[in-house]
Structure 1
Amino acid sequence: MTASPLQRVGAFALAALAGVGRPDDVTGEVLAGVVEKMTSHLVGTVKVAKAADLGGFWLGASYLLWPNSKLNPTARGKQSPPEREKLIREWRARPDLAGWPGVPCAYCGRAACDWYGKVDIPLGASVAHRNTTAPGHEGTPLCYPCVASLWAFPYGASLSGGRAALMHSWDDDFLARMTRSTVDQTLQDAAAGPSKGAKPGPYARELWVLRAVRAYSRRITSGVELIVLSNSNKEQLLATQELGQPVAEWLRSINRWPDRRAGYPALVAAQQSKQVPGEAFLAKRAFTRPAQVVDFAIGHVLGQISPKVLIPAETTALAPLLYSYCREVLTMDDKDVERIKELAGRLAALLGQDSRPGPFRDFIRANSKGGNLHGWFRSKGVDWLLFPRPNGTPPVLLPIQDYRLLFEDERSWSWRRLLVFAVLEALAEAGWEPKGSQEEFQEIKELADAAGEGQEEGAEQ
């Protein structure tokens, strides 16, 4: 095992192909047997005319992974199957000890068995490009186990669209499980032959990682990287993005809590757009801008307010997910989240004592574009003093600590959005059902739409 994600994925792929538990078990004859198995997969392409033919899976993959290798030379069409097999086996043969270069492996420091370039190492420089290596070197020195790992990593990758996508994590247990599953899928794809399946949807690779994380049964102790690469002559690409450990573990733990599990469909629906399905957008936001998950969920709830339903049913379903996300992923302090919920309870008590929709409308307006939430609190602070208050509530509607969260904290915008949601939840729990005209309810609907759009705009900033 080394510090290279590609080598690590490849090492676990070797273990999966060998049918053993860990890379440490791939030793001696086991390693030789796995390399022979991989070589036999490549040899299986020698009678294939082109990659689209049955049995051409690894020939097609070779243009992405090993361009200009012995598997896909320019003169391949003029070679006989025995000639092709001979060249492939020579390429994948273990170098004779007498010809080892006498330098350490660039990855692990053991004795290198040869110099390697682009036909073996993704994104590696060609051995013809002397200016990319140290003086006197003929490429990158690698030991046989490390180069075997690089040959094996494609089995632990999703190969589609001319690119390879890998999941990597420094959590070895997670990496072992995910690589083993991917190896099984790759072998199935190779055996099935060419397929004209449905075109992948938006953010398909991010969604692949999200579903793998959610299906994992143990605690995830490190972030999960999504690595997308191309080593072809047409495109050199290496793109990496990470699903942080807090959000990965939160996504995995949803199934452990019945209330979170029950609210997951509502969370997915809250993330969707006209072009992108909800779970795909949830995956993308979890990778790139985790705070947007909450922002868009609250915006969605506000967008569900209608002249017939002022308190959407999604409110109570989403509450356990959003509060846990704020604490566990966005690292909002527990005491501050509880402050917002307690303030929301006071606001719900104040708004709920009036069966008319007007006070609720004013609260939504204060949180919409151009709204004056500060002025609204000044006005309602007086009402809180004048009207009967629930037992055990403080005489001040907006204590100084709550004021600082909403108006002075670096996360003030997020605290305000959470407050809007918490007020809706508190009103739902109280069973508040206002009575008013259709015109009043329609106005609230329009204001809620504006407030929801404002949250989404804030999330994009």
Structure 2
Amino acid sequence: MTDAFEQQHQVLLTASPLQRVGGFALAALAKVGHPEQLTVEQFTTATTTMTRHLLATSDVAKAADAGGFWLSASYMLWPNSKIIPTARGKQSPAERRELIAQWRDMPDSAEWPGVPCAYCDRPACKWFGKVDIPLGASSEHRNTTAPGHEGTPLCFPCVACLWAFPYGAELSGGRAAAVHSWDDVFLAPVTRMAVQRTLAAAQAPASKTKLGPYARELAVLNAVRAYGQRVHSGVELIVLSNSNKEQFLRTQEMSQPIVEWLRSTATKTNRRTGYQALVAAQAAKAVPGEAFLAKRAFGDPAAILFRTTAHLLDRVSAKGGIPVEATGLAPLLYSYCIEVLNMDEKDVTRIRDLARRLAALLGQDSRPGPFGGFMRANTKGGDLYGWFRSQSVQWLLKTRPAGMPQTLLPVEDYRLLFDDDRAWSHRRLLVFAVMEALVEAGWEPKGSAEELEDIADVAANLPEDDKD
């Protein structure tokens, strides 16, 4: 067996996320842990399996018919390929099988272009283009080639990985959605599960399932929380279509810190108990809480803190006071601020200490007005600094709990709230911490429904909230 032959039957992972996902999909098809562990025989078995799945469509008239899964998927994955040529309706099943087999066979070495593979630098076996390489929407992703070239040069293992990519993706809604990470230990089981789902879907009756809001992001969140080991890299969600009707490519990344924090909500007891309250806080009228949590984890991590605080304020009027969930959410939110939003742990401690002083001050009056005044001072049109100036006088005049300092807002705390890059996040955390401290102190506002509703209305004017 020559070195050249072996190279055309051995996978090397490259810098292409699609090739990497496809490599792990090949490994899953061959029941091997890592793509670079594939032997020549196992690699051949995996590629033969994929070809067999396509050959099975030769007897299928329409994509919606039984056995038409890969025929249906080919419109999105491999438009104008040998599986769905324009003249397919006039071809016999035997003709279809012959064309598909030719398409997926490795070219004879005499036909190799004599250039390196664009992905791994090993000898390319052929020029390839849109039919075999998933491409995106913009001109940067289209099949444009230099003069004298007939496409992109790829070796057989690299193009086989691209053929295998759909097995490692969720094929629904006219798009392929795949999870990728540079952490191979994480990527292997996630892709293996995706391959199992795809193989099962290929055997199931054809159906059109409408995706729920942020369903793809939610699937990643669930995969992360179900994973049993530390993840050493961020997690990407790749959604694409190679269809002639829609050239689409979108990549979102969930950073490694938030990945690990989300995992901790399923593994650490003090965080697991507050997770459902956090999920409920993220919900919108038409979007379930966990789906919105997943969306924000990808696109706007700070909004998770902002929305949780606004949710608690929304519930003030309904509960007749501050919801007790504030104490259960505390371990989650403080750890989130430190581990994900990169707040200094000492700063979080200072904010919590300040919140206890404010709770001691506000808690001396059972009317909701003083508490509402503090909340309004945090709104877009509020004057939090002016509120602190006036309340500092009250702090000096009123009876303070033993052990609490004379100064309500020390210089260090002032800087956190008004002279820091994270000032808005610090203020939002302070709002939550004050509510937590008031709940712990047993404070319950005594006021009319209108006064309590007035406090709840403040939530709509808190700055930097996610309004989706």
With normalisation by structure 1, the TM-score equals: 0.94
1:222 aligns with 2:229: no
Name the SS for the 1:226 alignment partner: strand
Match of 2:456 in 1: 448
**Aligned residue among 29, 38, 50 for 1:17:** 29
> Partner of 2:228: helix, strand, or coil?
coil
Are the aligned partners of 1:364 and 1:444 in contact in 2 as well (CA < 8 Å)? no
User: In 1, are the aligned partners of 2:379 and 2:463 still within 8 Å (CA)?
Assistant: no
Give the structure 2 partner of residue 427 of structure 1: 438
Runs of 4+ in 1 over 4 A off after TM superposition: 456-461
The total of aligned residue pairs comes to 452
| CA shift for structure 1 position 124 | 8.4
One-letter amino acid matched to 1:455: L
Give the match for residue 144 of structure 2.
Answer: 132
Shift of 1:307: 6.8
In 1: Cα distance, 2:30 partner to 2:134 partner: 23
Q: C-alpha displacement at 1:273, in angstroms?
A: 1.0
Instruction: Give the structure 1 partner of residue 80 of structure 2.
Output: 68
The verdict on how the C-alpha distance between 1:433 and 1:12 changes in structure 2, with shifts beyond 3 A counting, is same
- Aligned partners of 2:463 and 2:360: how far apart in 1? 28
| Contact 1:341 1:419 survives alignment (8 Å) | yes
Q: Following TM superposition, by how much is the alpha carbon of 1:33 offset from its aligned partner in structure 2, in angstroms?
A: 1.1
Distance 1:409 1:180, change over 3 A: same
Question: In the superposition, relative to structure 1, how do residues 230 and 124 fare at CA in structure 2: closer, same or farther (>3 Å)?
Answer: closer
Task: Report the CA distance shift for 1:116/1:408 in structure 2 as closer, same or farther (over 3 A).
Answer: same
For the residues of structure 2 that align with 1:367 and 1:394, how far apart are their CA atoms? 23
Q: 1:287–1:18: structure 2 CA closer, same or farther, 3 Å change rule?
A: same
Computed over aligned residues only, the root mean square deviation of the Cα atoms, in angstroms, reads 1.9
CA distance in 1, matches of 2:466, 2:172: 32
Among 395, 398, 411, the alignment partner of 2:422 is 411
Q: Which amino acid aligns with 1:249?
A: E
Summarize the alignment of residues 40-439 of structure 1 with structure 2, pairs less than 5 Å apart.
40-123=52-135, 132-197=144-209, 199-306=210-317, 309-434=320-445, 436-438=446-448
Contact 2:378-2:384 at 8 Å conserved across structures: yes
Change (3 A) 1:172 1:307: closer
Q: Distance in 2 between the 1:186 and 1:407 partners? A: 52
1:357 deviates by 3.6
Is 1:45–1:58's contact at 8 Å kept on the other side of the alignment? yes
- Counterpart of 2:3 in structure 1 is none
- How far does residue 192 in structure 1 lie from its aligned partner after superposition? 0.8
Shift in CA distance, 437/40, structure 1 to aligned 2, threshold 3 Å: closer
Q: 1:192 to 1:437 in 2, by over 3 A?
A: closer
On the 8 A contact 1:307/1:442 being kept in 2, the answer is no
Distance change in 2, residues 1:82/1:459 (3 Å): closer
After superposition, the Cα gap between the structure-2 partners of 1:98 and 1:369, relative to the gap in structure 1 and judged at 3 Å, is closer
Call closer, same or farther: CA 1:459–1:61 in 2, change over 3 Å. closer
Matched residue type, 2:450: Q
Q: Tell me which amino acid in the other structure corresponds to 1:97.
A: S
Normalised by the length of structure 2, the TM-score is 0.93
8 Å Cα contact 1:263/1:321 also seen in 2: yes
> Per-residue displacement from partner, 1:192-237 (whole Å, max 9, x unpaired)?
130244x111111111111111111111111111111111111111
Range moving further from structure 2, 345-354 or 4-13: 345-354
**CA displacement, residues 132-156 of structure 1 (integer Å, 9 cap, x when unaligned):** 3233221111111101101101000
Question: Are the structure 2 counterparts of residues 431 and 190 from structure 1 closer, same or farther at C-alpha, using a change threshold of 3 Å?
Answer: same
Matched with 2:16 is 4
The verdict on how the C-alpha distance between 1:50 and 1:371 changes in structure 2, with shifts beyond 3 A counting, is same
- Taking structure 1 as reference, are residues 80 and 456 closer, same or farther at Cα in structure 2, changes over 3 Å only? farther
Distance in 2 (alpha carbons) for counterparts of 1:308 and 1:237: 46
Consecutive unaligned residues in structure 2, runs of 5 or more: 1-12
1:117 aligned partner, one-letter code: G
Deviation at 1:308, TM superposition (A): 5.1
Which structure 1 segments of 5+ residues have no match? none
CA contact (8 A) 1:56 1:193 kept: no
Question: Per the alignment, do residues 42 and 420 of structure 1 end up closer, same or farther by CA in structure 2, a change over 3 Å counting?
Answer: same
1:459 Cα deviation after fit: 4.6
